[in-house]
Amino acid sequence: MTQLDEVLRIHRSATLGAIANGTLADAALLRVETVRNFEALSQHAWRSAAHLVGRG
């Protein structure tokens, strides 16, 4: 498991816990979508870097 995977797992767990408590209901979807976008951008950056060094 990569460090990013671990961060995403922890963030997802904390977000879902806050939703269950009713403390984050309004912002939950925005937070989850933001994390998904971050994950996609990091994957694209990794692929771009791999391509530039000839490993893609």
Mean pLDDT by 10 residues, the chain (56 residues): 79 80 73 84 91 81
b/e per residue, 5-21, with b = 16+ CB within 10 A?
eeebeeeeeebeeebee
- Domain hosting residue 35, numbered range: 3-52
Q: How far apart are CA 23 and CA 38, in angstroms?
A: 23
Residue type, 15: T
If one counts the domains in the chain, the total is: 1
* Prediction pTM value: 0.55
* pLDDT at residue 27, as a whole number: 76
* pLDDT at residue 52, as a whole number: 92
* pLDDT at residue 39, as a whole number: 85
* pLDDT at residue 56, as a whole number: 56
